[in-house]
Amino acid sequence: MAQSSRAIHPALVTFALAMGAFAIGTTEFAAMSLLPFFASDLHISAPMAGHAISAYALGVVVGAPVIAVLGARLPRRTLLIGLMALFAIGNGLSALSPDYATMLLFRFLSGLPHGAYFGVAALVAASLVPSDRRALAVARVMTGLTVATVIGVPVANWMGQALGWRWGFGIVTLLAVITMTLVALYAPRDAGDPGASPMRELGALKEPQVLLTLLTGAIGFGGLFAVYTYVASTMISVTHVSEHLVPVVLAVFGVGMTIGNLVAAWAADRAQSRTAIMVLLWSAASLALFPLMASNIWSLSLVIFLIGGGGGLGSVLQTRLMDVAGDAQTLAAAAHHSAFNVANAIGPWLGGMAIAAGYGLTSTGWIGAALALGGLAVFLLTLSLQRRSIRSMTLACE
């Protein structure tokens, strides 16, 4: 694509893109911790307030493919700025929500640009480096999200408690505006893709390799969310520690996720498929250990750190989608985040069913391990079909 004569500084571009990931990660996870406060202020029950979290996730699932298809021809820099503008508006309006109905609407609006932003940002980051360093470039952008779980979420939660829950969404709005400024200053000025079309993008959904890679994430990543969603309740009811330690352990999770993201990406640039298999096995093993280590705060913190390391699967699958999506890069990259939000729905739902059936809070670990193994089974099937396809093409050419 055409570039201006302006020098491109990959580190500054990556920082700008990671700032957007930091803003998105902050609102996605902080909204859960602010739930009791906006529930009380809006005079609704906690379960009703939880629908605001679901509304955001629904916005991600719907928005990622729709925006990717409709915006495929736009210059990526322009699209990123527009997505952050929509994100800023959604969170700003969330902070001003007068009642439950408008809160649901504004959280849905906030979620719409989430997946498309990450997808396009990943493509921009990957375009700045050689092909054997793409996964690490994507991981550096995603580091913004993982660092948000360590820094952004506690700060937003503190502001929400000290100044009111509306400030928690207000700080995210400010972060979005900062991201827009940084992207405008540093992102490459591309001319867009005039050959792109909605039908070409939708063609990615006909590719079995794309669909199976998305399914791997939708199932395999669900295990992490099955445990993460109920870790606070587990700490209070099973580990029997003060609720003040919950943010500390969640920060430990964030540290594990940050390290796992970078390490898995480094490995994926050398052996992509093998790394995906190893990360899924790591997740299954650490999740299976959770029920055995939840009774003590030190062992619980260790296993939560290990579970967080499984978050490295995201950058690995994101890079794989770049390899198998052909010309439909934007839709495939954005749909990746829709798949992960499906995982965010499946994991807690199945974990909640196990708890409701009387198996206890720690049973989420077994559910999580089963989901990780399910994701592994799908991925192994994906590789098998890919090898068979390559073998058939080789025979046909002989």
Q: Looking at the 3D structure of the chain, how many domains does it have?
A: 2
Q: Please indicate, yes or no, whether residues 100 and 43 belong to a single structural domain of this protein.
A: yes
Q: How confident is the model at residue 4 (pLDDT cuts 50, 70, 90)?
A: very low
Instruction: Name the percent of the chain lying above pLDDT 90.
Output: 44
pLDDT digits (tens, 9 = 90+) for 152-170: 877 877 777 788 889 889 9
DSSP 230: T
Q: Please indicate, yes or no, whether residues 179 and 201 belong to a single structural domain of this protein.
A: no
pLDDT digits (tens, 9 = 90+) for 21-49: 999 988 887 776 677 778 888 888 766 77
Model pLDDT, residue 51: 79
Quote the CA–CA distance of 237 and 299 in Å, as a whole number: 16
SS3 172: helix
Instruction: Tell me the whole-structure pTM to 2 decimals.
Output: 0.83
Instruction: Name the percent of the chain lying above pLDDT 70.
Output: 92
Q: Is 306 or 397 the better-scoring residue by pLDDT?
A: 306
Q: Please indicate, yes or no, whether residues 213 and 188 belong to a single structural domain of this protein.
A: no
Q: Is 131 or 47 the better-scoring residue by pLDDT?
A: 131
Q: How confident is the model at residue 196 (pLDDT cuts 50, 70, 90)?
A: low
Q: Please indicate, yes or no, whether residues 116 and 262 belong to a single structural domain of this protein.
A: no
Q: Please indicate, yes or no, whether residues 41 and 118 belong to a single structural domain of this protein.
A: yes
Which range has highest mean pLDDT (118-132, 191-205, 212-226, 383-397)?
Answer: 212-226
Model pLDDT, residue 47: 64
Domain ranges, residue 3:
1-195
| CA-closest candidate to residue 61, choices 337, 367, 315 | 337
Q: Please indicate, yes or no, whether residues 240 and 315 belong to a single structural domain of this protein.
A: yes
- Does residue 227 surpass a pLDDT of 50? yes
- The rounded Cα 386 to chain-centroid distance in angstroms is 26
Model pLDDT, residue 2: 42
Model pLDDT, residue 298: 96
Domain boundary among 163, 195, 227: 195
CA distances from 109 to 57, 76, 103, 301 (A): 10, 21, 10, 35
Model pLDDT, residue 215: 95
CA distances from 9 to 66, 81, 102, 128, 396 (A): 31, 18, 41, 9, 45
Q: Please indicate, yes or no, whether residues 205 and 141 belong to a single structural domain of this protein.
A: no
Identify the weakest region by mean pLDDT among 79-83, 199-203, 282-286.
199-203
Q: Please indicate, yes or no, whether residues 112 and 144 belong to a single structural domain of this protein.
A: yes
Q: Please indicate, yes or no, whether residues 155 and 88 belong to a single structural domain of this protein.
A: yes
CA distances from 56 to 121, 124, 155, 256, 350 (A): 20, 25, 20, 25, 20
Quote the CA–CA distance of 317 and 254 in Å, as a whole number: 20
Domain boundary among 195, 215, 230: 195
Mean pLDDT along residues 66-75: 83
- Does residue 398 surpass a pLDDT of 70? no
- Ramachandran class of 9: left when φ > 0, alpha when ψ lies in -120 to 50, beta otherwise: beta
pLDDT digits (tens, 9 = 90+) for 295-328: 999 999 999 999 999 999 988 998 998 888 777 7
Residue 381: CATH number of its domain:
1.20.1250.20
Instruction: Write out 338-381 in H/E/C secondary structure.
Output: HHHHHHHHHHHHHHHHHHHHHHCCCHHHHHHHHHHHHHHHHHHH
Quote the CA–CA distance of 81 and 269 in Å, as a whole number: 29
- The amino acid that residue 284 corresponds to is A
Q: Please indicate, yes or no, whether residues 162 and 178 belong to a single structural domain of this protein.
A: yes
Domain boundary among 195, 210, 232: 195
Model pLDDT, residue 192: 65
Q: Please indicate, yes or no, whether residues 168 and 38 belong to a single structural domain of this protein.
A: yes
Per-residue tokens: 382: 């994906």
Mean pLDDT along residues 61-83: 87
What size, in residues, is the chain?
Answer: 398
Average pLDDT, the chain: 87
- Does residue 329 surpass a pLDDT of 80? no
Q: How confident is the model at residue 330 (pLDDT cuts 50, 70, 90)?
A: confident
Q: Please indicate, yes or no, whether residues 216 and 138 belong to a single structural domain of this protein.
A: no
Mean pLDDT along residues 74-95: 94
Q: Is 206 or 343 the better-scoring residue by pLDDT?
A: 343
